[in-house]
Each structure stands twice: as structure tokens, then as C-alpha cells.
Amino acid sequence: MNILNEIEEQSILLEEVEAIDAISFKKKYVTTKKPVLLKGYAKNWGATKKWNLDYLVNLADDKEIGVLSGNYIQGDIRYKKATLKDYLLKLKKAAENKESFTEYLTTLDIFNYLPNLKGDTDFSIFEKNTAINDIAAWIGPKGTVTGFHNDSGDNMYAQIKGEKLFILVAPDDNKFMYPSPKYVNGAIASKIDITNFDAKKYGAFKKARFYKVVLQPGDVLFLPKRWWHYVQSLDSSISISNFGYSKLELFKMRALNFLHRRGYYKSKNCYCCSK
């Protein structure tokens, strides 16, 4: 049973601000671990002004990437190999012709693949509060879903093209989120799939307090670590996120990933390894 509409109806609109300085941002949101929508914060970035599928296609080459199709957080999904240029061309064609297309890029190291894009973003308000940062892009068609999970680092999530829906749940409501044993690098997955919801198994889920926000081009969401979130693309979309970690957080994440890839930690119970 798909309960997305029901969850949206009972969700509280997330707080938003239109302008904020670095000191106020740290005091009101970073220190308190409170999410907020920075409305239009990225509207003047080079990324927001220039990036689109045509622009990225012209810069891309045939470097190999991994693409996903479906809800990899709750589903039994694995990476498929492609090249960046071929993927972007297929996505562009599908968007122009309104064709069905389900593959998408997640956590792409975009400045490694497309170094000419460096300088088109400005996360300085965030990076003043972090020791180590990891920037990644999310590119895909309308309808892609990343199911409920929470991240081990704080996240500044900028919407560059298209719109995205986020549903958030605070760490205080962990008891309603049914954590999954599935391995997701740098994150904890939930067993909850709101597009295929099992009320008998997960009846307490609806007791959580939900927050809703729709990101439009130029919007930036500050999403503190351990806040659960569900994400759905409402359009063909380009997004970029900046994960901020302490040195200890990054060490723990890398250590678990090392053990996982060598078969010592949650081997095969993931989306990143072959079946």
C-alpha cells in the first residue's frame, strides 16, 4: 500500500529562511542539529545558472559510472555499469520525449568526473563548521526514490534543476523508524517503504512526527546527521550535496566500508556488491 499522500497530509512544513549569515546559521541550526530550508540560497551559484543536461553532456566523457534503478535503500537493487556521457544522453532523450526512464546517478563524485564545474558552488557557510567535506551529485529522471534512511554526517543539499520532495523524521522518533540491518555506506537504512507499506509489520511508524519540504532550483536544505529522510524527484533533477564530517566520523565510516568490502561486515546485504 502506498501511503505517501497520507504521510504528506500529516506532515508539518519545514522551517525556511530567505537570508542568513554564517554566525546565525551555526547558532540556530548547526549547533542545535535542526533542519532548515535556505530558500533561494543557491540561486546565484554558477551551478544553478548554467548546469543542465545539455551543459553536462558537452563536458562528459566515457568514464565508467554506476547507476541504480529503483529504491536501493529498501529494495534489492545493485549498481549497473554505464559511462557518464552515455547515461546523460539517455536521460536527456527520455526527458525530452517524456519516455519512461528509471536509472539514476547517486553520490557521484562530480568534481572528479567533471573538474570544469569546480567553483560553481559555494558551501562556505557550512564548511566553516566541518572538519572534512565530501561533495556528491544526484542526477536522474522524474520519479526516482531514495527511501527512508539517515546519514552519519551533516548534509547541505542543494537543488540545481527540477524539484524534489523530502519527508523528514527527527532522531527523537527512532523508535518508530524500524532500522534495517542492510549496509548503506555512511548511513542507516529503515525497513519502512512508504510506497509499499506493510501496516501489520510497521504499525508504529505513523506515530512519528513528519516534516515536509519541496526543494526548488536554488534552494538548499540543511539536513543534520541522524535525521531520517525520504526523497522523491518530482522532475528530471540535478542536485548536489555536501556531507560534513568530523575526523572521527569519517574514520568510523571508512573502517566499516573497508570491512564490508572485504566480506567481514554485512557481506552481500547491501546494494554496492554483486549478488
DSSP secondary structure of 106-171: EEE-HHHH-GGGTTS---HHHHTT-SEEEEEEEEE-TT-EEEEEEESSEEEEEEEES-EEEEEE-G
Look at the block and give the residue holding cell 543542465: 52
CB-CB neighbours of 201 under 10 Å: 11
- Checking if the pLDDT of 275 tops 80, the result is no
Position of cell 551529485?
137
Beta-carbon contacts of 11 under 8 Å, excluding residues fewer than 6 positions away, are 167, 210, 211, 212
Q: What percent of the chain has pLDDT over 70?
A: 99
Contacts of 22 (CB under 8 A, 6+ apart): 124, 125, 128
Q: How far apart are CA 191 and CA 168, in angstroms?
A: 15
211-265 per-position pLDDT tens digit: 999 999 999 999 999 999 999 999 999 999 999 999 999 999 999 999 999 999 9
Amino acid at 28: K
Q: CA-to-CA distance for 71 and 192, rounded, in angstroms? A: 11
Q: Is the pLDDT of residue 90 over 80?
A: yes
Residue 136 has what pLDDT?
96
Helix, strand or coil, per DSSP, at residue 57: helix
State pLDDT tens for residues 130-156: 999 999 999 999 999 999 999 999 999
pTM above 0.75, yes or no: yes
Domains of the chain: 4-261 (2.60.120.650)
Strands (E), the chain: 12-13, 16-17, 36-38, 64-69, 80-83, 103-108, 132-140, 145-151, 154-161, 164-169, 179-184, 187-190, 210-215, 220-223, 228-233, 237-245
Which residues have CB under 8 Å from 275's CB, separation 6+? 78, 268
pLDDT digits (tens, 9 = 90+) for 187-212: 999 999 999 999 999 999 999 999 99
Q: Say which DSSP state 62 is in.
A: S
Neighbouring C-beta atoms of residue 211, cutoff 10 Å: 18
Summary mean pLDDT of the chain: 95
Provide the pLDDT for residue 126: 96
Nearest to 140 by CA among 102, 194, 93, 172: 102
